[in-house]
Structure 1
Amino acid sequence: MSTLTVTINRLGAHGHGIANTAEGPVYVPHALPGETVAIARNGSHGTLLSTATSSPDRVVPLCRHFNPDRDACGGCSLQHLAEQPYTDFKRNLVVEALRSKGLTPPVEPLVTCGLGQRRRTVFSARRTDKGLLLGFNRAETNHIVSVEECPVAAPAIMAQLDALRSIAAALAGGSESFRLTVLETLAGLDVAAEGVKPLDEKRRRAAIETVMRLSAIARVSVNGEILVEPRKPLVDFGGVLVTPPPGAFMQATKEAEDAMAALVLAHVGKAKRVLDLFAGSGTFALRLARTARVHAVEGEDKLLKALDLAARTTEGLKPVTVEKRDLFRRPLTAQELKVYDAVVFDPPRAGAEAQVRELARAGVKKVAAVSCNPLTLARDLRLLVDQGYEIRSVIPVDQFLWSPHVEAVALLQR
């Protein structure tokens, strides 16, 4: 490890300042372009020691846990960056990913994210000699930083930190760390513990008794199995109420979900038959079913059952059919796709290359692509453009405030 002074040239894709040196680029968390900083260098990583020249884009972070001089939480990487350069950075992640594949479609301004909107938060927990530790991991480590505030997370979640510590303490079976995924729902908090040692009868009883004393908790599950459910957790997909399975994927903020759904629905328009691929528990399918017959395809059985139950028990929807299918190994063929007027797909970070190759051959008139990874989105869009699709617009959506992650909705027509 060596100590040196460098000038930060630009921001990297992960939000770190990048200094160009004779030995190659050095990535410096919490540093901004134009700043002259002293760092402790270890290979390509630099730890910020002091700042000689500060950027005019630097602002005072809102959260006490975002502090490189102390035990900093790793949940945010860009809390020190002013609003306009921050939104430019997020939008440019999408622009540059598309450009890397030779694509230059219209990219709209970033749909922004506000404070306290994160309805789904993942905590780390561990029993220690001093008690239960609950918080977020320090960046690139397994070290848990105890938190007392989080301006990103929903107030309903942060108001229950003591309750969450009580639940974690009752579940902890040793000193190993585990995760608590907490989702704010209409019925209360849905808490999914993962990585917990199997519960003996004493711990099980203690955990159930703890939860039953906490009025804000709707459900607690352990390693995918429901432990106790005082009330069924409910989420609202455009007026359709769904009980998601324990620990299910959910868009991180309702505001971003609503914005993306509005874009998708407007693009699909009056299509009569719509296919929703990687449908989850119905984020888009159940909204689309207000005006169209929908076929929803998803690889996880529990998600599909939640979607199906909501569709069958909600009045006023057009027919919704469901299909369990691994779209990575067995994508719908071009022949199967041709019967649809529009296709929506929202895959995991790996994208949907195999499925998109079939979709490109099918010639469906309208396609809406939703992605949490600009790089795989760009790859998939390139396949569609090469087969005659036009990208009408791409809309970046920020639902992970002060992080380097960005969603995007791409609207295509043929």
Structure 2
Amino acid sequence: MITEHEILRLGHQGDGIASGPVYAAATLPGETVRGVLSGSHLTDIRIETPSPDRVQPPCRHAKSCGGCQLQHASDEFVAHWKQDIVALALEGQGLVAPMRTILTSPAQTRRRAVVSARRTKKGAMAGFHARGSDVIVEIPHCELVDPRLRGGLPLAEALASAGASRKGEISVTLTVTENGLDVAVTGGKPTDGPLEAALAQLAERFGVARLAWDGEVIAMRQPPVQHFGAASVTPPPGAFLQATPEGEAALLAGVREIVGDAERIVDLFAGCGTFSLPLAARAEVLAVEGDAGMIRALDQGWRQAQGLKKVTAIARDLFRRPLVPQELTGFDAAVLDPPRAGAEAQVAMLAESSLDRIAYVSCNPLTFARDARVLTGAGYRLAWVQVVDQFRWSSHIELVAAFFRTAVQESDVRPHL
């Protein structure tokens, strides 16, 4: 049955929400829409009264591809919506903070993406899944990713033809590096001699820097180098990397401003050194990360770099074994960049520490707000929040936030320039 609805707001996943609740993809607040109601979701949607914030999606794949949720909304609308999500998350914890102007990465700058690929009767196909579906949509003209990633789609198809099971699909992580694409595949058939030979031939044919298959490096023509400050780092296959160079630069600028002239910094959930290594140009750094492979890459990058201060790299599970206040003694500032779950255990220890400044980088406003409440309850002041939108046209949100002890004034913190 066709029903009519007025969209009241957007949910955290980018769907329009009407009374009921009824969820309608690709709609905006204030719009009147008609469609077929299936449970709580509206399908076959027709926009009766469009919002003034509605725009023509810039990508020709927008209607079929599930990689982006918000291409139908103006940049100004999306910016305000993402800022409001963070503000509402803080409000839910009884907090308010000055919100700086959002920084949005340009189109075609995503340097890392995970595509799906599978065999077909006529060969293979690769792309993103359709929204809420396991159907793969080919994306040869994607406006989101770096054009060099689009160039990896034929490789993903070839990898599926060589090593995907008949009914399954593989996930192919493509990352832009200075020496070509870094490719990590999961979900494929177990390797044997013939498959390894075929994969090595594909790596050579497509000129990739490195090809890994379910964690095993099959071929490395050149190291897949990433630059963090003065250091060159070769991350392990599939390792975390900030999504865009512009987004990484914005987060790093915020972190540098917060730590200021700190001489000793502890970097928690340090990854491969996104913040640790640039900060080591001015300060000694203790870098702590749960993934041993990433921490080895960070340490090697520091050892091969010139002109950096001491970086001590430690592999440690900060969820189970957070640094306790005694271990944090002697540090001037902390950088915190946890995964979506936040850093509940580590934040509890930071709250008991004597650290003056904390730069909190987050990819989840809800867990960030939860942790912010703990820190402010322990005497820290949430000085400002900077939203960084490096997942353009998606519902994903990243931010960097400044926490200072009450006795520390923001004017007392001299940023590294």
TM-score norm. by structure 2 comes to: 0.95
Note if contact 1:29-1:48 (Cα within 8 Å) is conserved in structure 2: no
Aligned to 1:37: 33
Letter in 1 for 2:47: T
CA-to-aligned-CA distance 1:211-261 (integer Å, 9 cap, x gap): 21223x111100111010111100111231100000101111111011101
Q: Which runs of 5+ in 1 are unaligned?
A: none
Aligned match of 1:57: 53
Is the counterpart of residue 166 in structure 1 residue 158 in structure 2? yes
**Retained in 2: the 8 A contact 1:28–1:48?**
no
CA distance, structure 2, for counterparts of residue 312 and residue 227 of structure 1 = 26
Partner amino acid for 1:297?
V
What CA distance in whole angstroms lies between the structure 2 residues aligned with 1:13 and 1:363?
A: 35
Q: Does 1:88 align with 2:80?
A: yes
Q: Are 1:31 and 1:48, in contact at CA under 8 Å, matched by a contact in 2?
A: no
CA distance in 1, matches of 2:21, 2:109: 35
Alpha-carbon distance in 2 for matches of 1:169, 1:285: 40
Alignment-derived partner of residue 114 in structure 1 = 106
Bigger shift: residues 383-392 or 32-41: 32-41
In the alignment, which of 97, 104, 107 is matched to residue 105 of structure 1?
97
Per-residue CA deviations over 1:125-148 (Å, capped at 9, x if unaligned) read 111212211010112222211222
1:323 equivalent in structure 2? 314
Structure 1 partner of 2:18: 19
4+ long deviations beyond 3 Å = none
Checking the alignment, whether the CA contact within 8 Å between 2:228 and 2:277 is kept in structure 1 is yes
* Residue 157, structure 1, aligned to residue 149, structure 2: yes
1:347 aligns with 2:347: no
* C-alpha spacing 1:36/1:54, structure 2 compared with 1 (3 Å): same
| Counterparts of 2:90 and 2:142, CA distance in 1 | 33
Identity of aligned residues (%): 46
How far, CA to CA, are the matches of 1:53 and 1:196 in structure 2? 47
- 1:385 corresponds to 2:384: no
Q: How far off its partner does 1:86 sit? A: 1.3
Q: Does the CA contact (< 8 Å) of 2:117 and 2:127 recur in 1?
A: yes
DSSP-derived class of the 2:224 partner: coil
CA distance in 2 between counterparts of 1:145 and 1:156 reads 19
Give aligned pairs, total: 405
Give per-residue Cα distances to partners, 1:261-315, cap 9 Å, x unaligned. 1111121111111000000010000011111110000111000000000111111
Deviation of 1:3 after TM superposition, in Å, equals 2.5
Normalised to the residue count of structure 1, the TM-score between the two structures is 0.96
Alignment match of 1:358 (pick from 341, 346, 349):
349
Question: By how many angstroms is 1:203 displaced?
Answer: 1.9
Correspondent of 1:147 among 139, 147, 160: 139
Q: Is the 8 A contact 1:171 1:204 kept in 2?
A: no
Stretch moving more, 169-178 or 77-86: 169-178
RMSD: 1.1
2:271 corresponds to:
280
Deviates more, 1:3-12 or 1:297-306: 3-12
Amino acid corresponding to residue 180 of structure 2 in structure 1: G
Pairwise CA distance, 1:207: 1.5
Q: Which residue of 2 is the match for residue 375 of structure 1?
A: 366
1:230-249 alignment runs, 5 A limit: 230-249=221-240
Unaligned 5+ residue runs, structure 2?
A: 406-417
